[in-house]
Structure 1
Amino acid sequence: MDTNMTTQPPNKPKRRTYSAEFKELLNRPEIVGDSTLQENTTMKTRNYTPEMKERAVRMLIEAKDDYPSTWSAIKAIAPKIGCTPETLRSWHKKHIDKTIPAKIQAQSQAEHIKELERENRELKQANEIIKKAAAFFAQAELDRKPK
C-alpha cells in the first residue's frame, strides 16, 4: 500500500483545496477587502439527509403561497434550514419531477399555453376596438364646426 495516498474517513465532509493559480488571482492589491487566502483554506461540502431535504421541500410548499414567487419563498426559507437557495430550488425541482409525472406536466404546460393564447387574442381584439374608437372620436372632432 502506498503511504503517500491519504484517505479521509467516510464520515468527514469532502474538502476542496484551492490551487496556487486561484490564490494568486485573489491575492492582488487592486482587489479591495481581505483578498488573502490562507494555505489551509478549504471549501466544505455539506451532506444533507433525505429527511432533511423532504422537510425543507415541505416547508417550501407550505410557505410558497405567502410569497409573491416561488423564488422569493426559496430565498426566505433556505437560510432558516442552513442551505443555499439554489440547493433548495434543486430539491424542489426534483420533488416536482418525482411526484408529478412528465405527461401531466406537459399537459399542464399545454393548457397554460392555450390559456395565454386565448388571453392574447382577447387583448388584440380589445386593442382593435380601442383603435377604432380613437379614430372615430378623432374624426368626429375634425368634423365638428368651430364656434
Structure 2
Amino acid sequence: MAKGYRHFTQEFKDSAVREVVERSRRVDEVANQVGIYEGTLRRWVRAWREQYGDERVEAAGDGPAGPAAADLAARVAELEKENRRLREREQILKKAAAFFAQDHL
C-alpha cells in the first residue's frame, strides 16, 4: 500500500529553514522537533541557500535578515498606519462623548 505525500505550507517550511540557517541549529534536531525527515529539511535548506545565498543569513545583533525582513517591514508599516487610524478614531470618540455629556448637564 502506497503512502500519500504530506504537504507543508510555505510558512512551515520557512520556519523550519530559519531554525537551521539563522539560528544555527542542527538539521536533525530541527527535523525531529517539527516531525519531518532530515533529508526533506536538508533539501529545503539547500533550496533556500541556492535562492538567497549565505549573505541573507542573519548576522548577530543585526536584526532580521533574509526574505522575512521585507515581510516584517511591510507588516510594521501596515500596523503603524492602523495605529494612527485607531488613535484618530479614539480622539473623535472622546470628543463626541464630551459633547453628549454636556447636553445632560
TM-score by length of 1: 0.34
Give the greater-gyration-radius structure (CA): 1
Query: Hey, which of these two has a bigger chunk of helix by percent?
Result: 2
